[in-house]
Amino acid sequence: MFTDDTYMTGQKTDIRTLNLKELEQVVSGYNQPAFRAKQVFEWIWKKGINNFEGMTNIPDQLRKNLSEKFIFLTLDEINRAESTDGTIKLLFSLHDDKKTECVLIPSEDRVTACISSQTGCNLGCKFCSTAGIKKARDLSAGEIFEQFIASDNLSVAKFGRPLSNLVLMGMGEPLLNYENVMNAVEKIISPTGLNFSPQRITLSTAGITAGIRKLADDDVKFNLAISLHAANEKIRQGLMPVTNSNTIEDLKKAIIYFHKKTGTRVTYEYLMLKDINDSAVHASEFAEFCKITPCKINLIEYNPGDFDVFKSSAPETIIRFSEILKSKNLIVNIRKSRGKDISAACGQLANKC
Report whether 187 contacts 193 (CB < 8 A). Answer: yes
Instruction: Give the three-state DSSP class for 101.
Output: strand
Statement: the pTM of the whole predicted model exceeds 0.75: yes
CA atoms within 13 A on the CB side of 230: 22
104-148 pLDDT, tens digit each:
999 989 999 999 999 989 999 988 888 778 888 999 999 999 999
**pLDDT level of residue 341 (50, 70, 90 thresholds):** low
Are the folds of 5-71 and 76-342 the same?
A: no
Q: Which of 209, 224, 229 is nearest to 125 (CA)?
A: 229
6-33 pLDDT, tens digit each:
566 668 999 999 999 999 999 999 999 9
Which residue of the set 24, 101, 143, 269 is catalytic? 101
Partner residues linked to 104 by β-bridges: 88, 113
Give the dihedral of Cα atoms 321, 271, 290, 111; nearest 10 deg.
-110
Angle at 96 between CA 95 and CA 98, to 5 degrees: 100
More confident residue, 1 or 60: 60
Q: Which of 162, 193, 169 is nearest to 102 (CA)?
A: 169
d(CA 296, CA 17): 36
CA atoms within 13 A on the CB side of 51: 4
Predicted pLDDT at 239: 95
Which residue of the set 125, 290, 346, 353 is catalytic? 346
143-197 pLDDT, tens digit each:
999 999 999 999 999 999 999 999 999 999 999 999 999 999 999 999 999 999 9
Q: Which of 132, 285, 123 is nearest to 207 (CA)?
A: 123
Lowest mean pLDDT among 49-63, 131-145, 209-223: 131-145
Tell me the chain's radius of gyration from C-alpha atoms.
21
pLDDT at 248 over 50: yes
Predicted pLDDT at 309: 81
Q: Would you call 102 a catalytic residue per the annotation? A: no
Q: Would you call 346 a catalytic residue per the annotation? A: yes
The burial class, CB within 10 Å (0-12 / 13-18 / 19+), for 211 is: buried
How long a stretch of residues is the chain? 353
Question: Where do the structural domains in the chain lie, given as residue ranges?
Answer: 5-71, 76-342
Q: Which fold has domain 76-342?
A: TIM Barrel (3.20.20)
| CATH entry, 5-71, from 3.40.50.620, 2.60.120.280, 1.10.150.530, 3.90.1150.10 | 1.10.150.530
